[in-house]
C-alpha cells in the first residue's frame, strides 16, 4: 500500500503546490517495517522499504501497525483520524527536526491521508 504513495501524491497538483518548498527525507515506521520517503519540492521522488542499517532522514514518524491501520481506514475513528490526535494519544512518535514537521504539518497530514482506503476499494 505504501508503495502507491508516490503515485497518489504526485498526481495531486494542489498537494504538490502546498509542499513546493519542502525537500527532505522522512522515515515512516509502520510497526516493525520502515520506509524512507524522499521528498523533493513537494514531489515524492522515492519510497524505499527497509530494513535499514542506519537510515538517514531529517524526520521520523513511528507508530504501531494497528494505529496506522486505523488512521488509513476509510472512516478513521476519533483519535485516529489526524496525526496530531495520534500524537496526543501518545501512539505516534515524531523524532528529528520538528520544525520541518510543524512548518509543513498540513502537507504531511494530506500526504499520509492519501493512503486511506478509497470508496469501493477493499480495506
Question: pLDDT per residue over 48-93, tens digit each?
Answer: 998 888 888 999 999 999 999 999 999 999 999 999 999 999 999 9
Report the C-alpha gap between 86 and 99 in whole angstroms.
18
Helices (H) and strands (E) in the chain, counts: 6, 5
pLDDT digits (tens, 9 = 90+) for 18-40: 999 999 999 999 999 999 999 99
Closest of 120, 123, 109 to residue 1, by C-alpha: 123
pLDDT 10s digits, 96-123: 999 999 999 999 999 999 998 764 444 3
Residue 120 is predicted with a pLDDT of: 40
The pLDDT, as a whole number, for residue 100 is 94
b/e code 69-102 from CB counts within 10 Å (16+ = b) = bbbbeeebeeebbbbebbeeeebbebebeeebbe
Helix/strand/coil for 85: helix
Q: How far apart are CA 38 and CA 27, in angstroms?
A: 9
Amino acid at each position: 500500500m505504501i508503495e502507491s504513495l508516490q503515485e497518489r501524491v504526485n498526481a495531486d497538483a494542489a498537494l504538490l503546490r502546498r509542499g513546493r518548498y519542502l525537500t527532505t527525507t522522512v522515515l515512516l515506521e509502520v510497526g516493525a517495517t520502515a520506509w524512507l520517503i524522499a521528498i523533493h519540492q513537494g514531489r515524492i521522488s522515492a519510497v524505499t522499504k527497509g530494513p535499514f542499517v542506519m537510515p538517514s532522514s531529517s524526520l521520523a514518524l513511528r507508530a504501531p501497525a494497528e494505529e496506522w491501520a486505523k488512521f488509513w481506514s476509510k472512516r478513521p475513528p476519533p483519535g485516529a483520524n489526524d496525526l496530531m490526535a495520534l500524537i496526543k494519544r501518545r501512539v505516534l512518535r515524531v523524532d528529528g527536526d520538528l520544525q520541518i514537521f510543524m512548518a509543513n504539518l498540513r502537507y504531511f497530514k494530506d500526504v499520509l491521508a492519501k493512503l486511506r482506503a478509497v470508496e469501493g476499494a477493499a480495506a
